[in-house]
Structure 1
Amino acid sequence: MQEDFLHYVWQHQYFDKTDLRTTDGQLITVLKPGYRNADAGPDFLTARLQLDEVEWNGAVEIHLKASDWHRHQHQTDPKYDQVVLHVVYEADQPVQRLDSSIVPALSLGPRIAPDLLRAYHALLEQPTSLLPCAAQLPLVPEITRTSMVERALLERMELKASVVAALHQRLGDDWEATAYHTLAAAFGFQKNSEPLARLAKALPLHVVRRHRHDQLQLEALLFGQAGLLEETQASADEYIVALRREFEFLRHKYSLHGTALAAHEWNFLRLRPANFPPVRLAQLAAVLHARPALFDAMLTAADLPTLTKFFQAPTSKYWREHYRPGATGKVPALGKSSIYLLITNVVVPLRIAYARHTGQPELVENALALLSLLPAEHNHITDDYDALGFQHRSSADSQGLLALHRTYCAPRRCLHCAVGSRILQRNLVSQ
């Protein structure tokens, strides 16, 4: 059993309250169980309890064994002096506050319904290759599943937006710079996201702005700072020679010495040529060249066709015919699926972060509505949920299902999930 289960039982009061007493015999009336504390300190705050005839306001601490109080050194921590009830599964010893006063204890072990315990263990003991609740999903109403996926989607997008907001703060509240850094990292499409994020740091936006009008100079800066102009097979390639020459001049002009990445820092392994870092860099250069106001365009685009067109900037002729310096081959333009990922991972989080920053909650709904216009993504995770009957018609569904899997199902956080909670509730007996 995990401590989270006792948190769940206490929060929802899913235990037998008949003649509820502390271990030393005081009659307990729970007036308010308190709210869950996500920070340091006791587990539940602002609880209201009546012990015999006296009403107490304070905190509730929860452990599997009462002795965990000492194991966690709570007896020496002033934050735990506010605890008015110690809720445990097994009351194996009395515990004290800092002033040596005894903390009243409630033992829940004998009061939890066996059916609830069995249902809890059944969820946690499912094979890891399956959703913990897969066998019991037919018992859960579709509206419960749908609302949980929507909740997971919002949490996922809020998390992405919080990363953008932190970046915005680090960049001195500059939304254009925030858009530049976010867009650069997203063009790495997971495998090269980290080096592209570092490239944006190594090539400041004020330098990019001065050379946006000249695609060759822009490519020289990006490929030079990326360390991708040193490939030996391109030593006689006229275009690469021109980029090197341009980069040498610009590197001295802007004192970019020592900030460039090395070629070995880029990932080529198990990537199709169309996803090679030089191709993605050329596509990023094309967007930066063609779209002088990144943030404004991504914030104000009124519909999906306008946003799609924003990312469909043509690369220079060389990068339509080369996968990497000196390596020839026909290179496709940035595909629709890649554009949709950029909208999901750049445009939507940027809009939500801006909405939160400016206090415009209606913009959050507008941003999330974009995801409903994008086609569903398909991978082994979303396919598993699809097969189990979860709605999967748009990118909003896909993002919600991915969030549900990663945040709740995979780590077995069933007690925090509306679906898992509904299954457990069905197994409750009358208290």
Structure 2
Amino acid sequence: MQEDFLHYVWQHQYFDKTDLCTTDEQPITVLRPGMRNPDAGPDFLNARLQLGEVEWNGAVEIHLRASDWHRHQHQHDPKYDQVVLHVVYEADQAVQRLDGSEVPALALAPRVASTLLTTYEKLLATAEAPDALPCAPLLSTVPAVTRMSMVERALLERVEQKAQVVEELHQRLGQDWEATAYHTLAAAFGFQKNSEPLARLAKALPLSIVRRHRHDARQLEALLFGQAGFLAETDATRHDAYLAGLRQEFAFLQHKYSLHGTALEAHEWNFLRLRPANFAPVRLAQLAAVLHSRPALFDALLTAADVRTLTQFFQAPTTDYWRQHFRPGVPGKVPALGKSSVQVLITNVVVPLRVAYARHVGQPELVESAVALLSELPAEHNHITDAYATQGFGHRSAADSQGLLALHRGYCTPRCCLHCAIGSRILQRTPAVS
């Protein structure tokens, strides 16, 4: 059993309250269980209880065993002097406040229904397959509307988390939205495997320099590929006239902007187990095309009316050389940025950027329109989303996919069933009294 279970039981008063009393036989009437405390200190604040003939307003602390009070050193912490009731599963020891006064205790072990505890333990049991839903055997008791609302909640939480990352980046960049868009877009063009080096490349090549040369595709490519470490002469590139021209251009710009010592090395990029279309030079050429074609980057990402417009934005044509080379000096026909890649960029760049901006300027209606973009995108299919679909979860668009992934990673995998509306519904349908 985890302490969270007792928090849930107390918060929802999901136990037998017949002849409720403390361990020293004082009658208890719970007038208000209190509010969960997200910060340091007692677990529930502003509780209202009647103990015997006296009404108390204060805090409630919860432990599996009463002796945990001393193990956590609460007897030396003045924050716990406000505790008026110690709710425990097992009352194995009397505990005291800082002044030595004893804290009344309520033992829940004989009051929690065995069926409730069994259902809870089933939810937390390790599933046979790591991607299995812990509540799968019990899902039939959960209405479809509860499932749908929980997926929507998980989706919004996932979007907010991504937007928070963008907000923090915005702060670090001196609240420059154009620079924020540039850094966010650069990292996203790494498509996981190369996100980290592309994020470092954006730092190594500031937007202030990119702005001065984005009108010239050749100069922009020289800066990006040079700072990425892809212009060093090798056996494969020695006789490549296009790369020689970029190399010469980069040498001039490197000196002009004092970029010596800031470039990445070619070995810092990942190629292992990647399809050629996802090689870093290909993605870098596609990023260069977007930067060259769209001078007002942030405005374009913020105001694009629909997915079709954004698709055109991201599928800016690359130069002839990078349509015919997967790597510097290595020829091959390179396809344009695919629809699935565009979907990833809308999900990981456009939506978080718009939500972060909406929060910054205080326009919540922009959040709804940003999330609505996901509903225009097709559903993503993988072993995780398919597992939920087989259990009857709706899966019609990328909004559903993102919600299911968020539900899986934020609730199902860490077994946070007590904080999930689905898990809570299952427990609430279990009798609280044996």
TM-score band by shorter chain is over 0.9
**Match of residue 353, structure 2, among 341, 344, 350:** 350
**Alignment of structure 1 residues 280-299 onto 2, 5 Å:** 280-299=283-302
CA contact (8 A) 2:112 2:433 kept: no
Q: 1 CA distance for matches of 2:433 and 2:9?
A: 14
The answer to which of 352-361 and 227-236 deviates more is: 227-236
Are residues 1:60 and 2:53 paired? no
Deviations 1:326-367 (A, max 9, x none): 111000000111011101110001111111111111111111
**Alignment of structure 1 residues 271-286 onto 2, 5 Å:** 271-286=274-289
Deviations 1:366-409 (A, max 9, x none): 11111101000011100111111100000000000000000001
Q: C-alpha displacement at 1:231, in angstroms?
A: 5.6
Q: C-alpha displacement at 1:177, in angstroms?
A: 0.7
One-letter amino acid matched to 2:179:
A
Q: 2 CA distance for matches of 1:37 and 1:315?
A: 54
Q: C-alpha displacement at 1:53, in angstroms?
A: 2.1
**Alignment of structure 1 residues 356-371 onto 2, 5 Å:** 356-371=359-374
Match of 1:195 in 2: 197
Match of 1:252 in 2: 255
**Match of residue 407, structure 2, among 384, 404, 408:** 404
Q: C-alpha displacement at 1:126, in angstroms?
A: 4.5
Match of 1:214 in 2: 216
Match of 2:171 in 1: 169
**Match of residue 387, structure 2, among 384, 387, 403:** 384
Deviations 1:178-220 (A, max 9, x none): 1111101111111111111111111111011001001111111
| Deviant stretches of 4+, over 4 Å | none
Q: C-alpha displacement at 1:82, in angstroms?
A: 1.9
One-letter amino acid matched to 2:312:
K
One-letter amino acid matched to 2:224:
L
**Alignment of structure 1 residues 15-414 onto 2, 5 Å:** 15-129=15-129, 130-230=132-232, 232=234, 233-414=236-417
Q: 2 CA distance for matches of 1:119 and 1:59?
A: 29
SS of the equivalent of 1:64 reads: strand
CA contact (8 A) 1:145 1:390 kept: yes
Seq. identity, %: 78
CA contact (8 A) 2:112 2:432 kept: no
Give the TM-score taking structure 1 as reference length: 0.98
One-letter amino acid matched to 1:388:
Q
Q: C-alpha displacement at 1:414, in angstroms?
A: 0.8
One-letter amino acid matched to 1:268:
F
SS of the equivalent of 1:58 reads: strand
Q: 2 CA distance for matches of 1:110 and 1:35?
A: 24
Match of 1:4 in 2: 4
Q: C-alpha displacement at 1:128, in angstroms?
A: 4.7
Q: 2 CA distance for matches of 1:231 and 1:35?
A: 65
SS of the equivalent of 1:323 reads: strand
Structure 1 gaps, min length 5: none
Q: C-alpha displacement at 1:35, in angstroms?
A: 1.5
Q: C-alpha displacement at 1:95, in angstroms?
A: 1.3
Q: C-alpha displacement at 1:14, in angstroms?
A: 0.4
Q: C-alpha displacement at 1:36, in angstroms?
A: 1.4
One-letter amino acid matched to 1:282:
A
Q: 1 CA distance for matches of 2:101 and 2:254?
A: 69
Match of 2:429 in 1: 426
The answer to which of 19-28 and 154-163 deviates more is: 19-28
One-letter amino acid matched to 1:348:
V
Q: C-alpha displacement at 1:117, in angstroms?
A: 0.5
CA contact (8 A) 1:274 1:331 kept: yes
One-letter amino acid matched to 1:259:
T
Q: 2 CA distance for matches of 1:226 and 1:343?
A: 24
CA contact (8 A) 1:128 1:410 kept: no
Q: Across the two proteins, how many residue pairs are aligned to each other?
A: 431
Q: 2 CA distance for matches of 1:344 and 1:381?
A: 18
Give the TM-score taking structure 2 as reference length: 0.97
CA contact (8 A) 1:231 1:325 kept: no
The answer to which of 31-40 and 360-369 deviates more is: 31-40
CA contact (8 A) 1:123 1:132 kept: yes
One-letter amino acid matched to 2:57:
N
SS of the equivalent of 1:87 reads: strand
Q: 1 CA distance for matches of 2:128 and 2:269?
A: 33
The answer to which of 406-415 and 251-260 deviates more is: 251-260
Deviations 1:231-278 (A, max 9, x none): 612122111111111111111111112221121211111100000011
Are residues 1:416 and 2:419 paired? yes
